């Protein structure tokens, strides 16, 4: 990990990183954050584990300007494996399962649960405590199911983007 990223402890919790992660120079990761292998946190992204815990699996990319946070004494944020958090998206006090794409500028609010193999469209707002059905595309404000997802979209979009971000990170290492 070659990083000048801002990594700070909060209340004696220092972020922990798996192997082969890339942190952009101006990414900020603070507090009770545990991140798996082959993750990337991009320019101006913030992963703020100050008020509660953030747990991130393997092969997760948190793109430019995204914000990952939670609510004090109330909600933690959990992100599974093979997840892409798009540019300027917000994941707040929610659970995002495996193989998910959170589109650019989307907002996922406290207590929401995003099922596996799902796409949250750009600009969508997933309201508090919404249960997003696995294998589906949700869009709109508030986010609603648009359609079921097919295997082609899972590999064509979700896997492709997650794998591309591992490649992009390699360019900066």
Token pair 């300027």 in the structure block, residue: 88
Tokens of 166: 């591992």
Residue 54: pLDDT above 80?
A: yes
* pLDDT score for 2: 52
CA angle (69 as vertex; 100, 97 as ends), nearest 5: 20
Tokens of 107: 């907002």
61: in domain: yes
Whole-prediction pTM: 0.96
Q: Which residues pair with 133 in a beta bridge?
A: none
1: in domain: no
104: in domain: yes
Rounded to the nearest integer, the mean pLDDT of the chain is 96
pLDDT tens digits for range 4-32: 899 999 999 999 999 999 999 999 999 99
Give the burial class of 150: count Cβ atoms within 10 A of its Cβ; 0-12 exposed, 13-18 middle, 19 or more buried. Answer: exposed
Return the closest-CA partner of residue 22 out of 37, 7, 9, 34: 37
Helix (H, G, I), strand (E, B) or coil at 29: strand
CA angle (71 as vertex; 69, 75 as ends), nearest 5: 100
Return the closest-CA partner of residue 77 out of 119, 121, 108: 108
Mean pLDDT for the stretch of residues 143-164: 92
Tokens of 163: 């794998």
Say which CATH number the domain at 60 has: 2.160.10.10
Q: How many domains does the chain have?
A: 1
Binning pLDDT at 50, 70 and 90, where does residue 151 land?
Answer: confident
Domain of residue 144 covers 6-172
pLDDT tens digits for range 71-100: 999 999 999 999 999 999 999 999 999 999
93: in domain: yes
Residue 117: pLDDT above 80?
A: yes
Residue 1: pLDDT above 70?
A: no
């Amino acid at each position: 990990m070659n990083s000048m990223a801002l990594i700070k402890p909060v209340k004696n919790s220092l972020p922990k990183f798996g192997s082969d992660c890339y942190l952009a120079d101006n990414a900020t990761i603070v507090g009770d954050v545990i991140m798996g292998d082959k993750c990337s946190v991009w320019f101006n992204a913030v992963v703020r584990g100050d008020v509660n815990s953030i747990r991130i699996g393997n092969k997760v990319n948190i793109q430019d300007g995204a914000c990952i946070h939670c609510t004090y004494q109330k909600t933690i944020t959990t992100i599974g494996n093979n997840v892409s958090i798009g540019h300027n998206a917000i994941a707040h006090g929610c659970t995002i399962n495996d193989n998910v794409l959170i589109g650019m500028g989307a907002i996922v609010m406290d207590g929401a649960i995003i099922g596996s193999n799902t796409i949250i469209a750009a600009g969508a707002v997933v309201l508090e405590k919404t249960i997003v059905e696995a294998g589906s595309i949700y869009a709109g404000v508030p986010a609603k199911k648009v359609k079921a997802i097919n295997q082609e979209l899972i590999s064509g979009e979700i896997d492709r983007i997650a794998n591309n971000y591992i490649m992009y990170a390699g360019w900066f290492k």
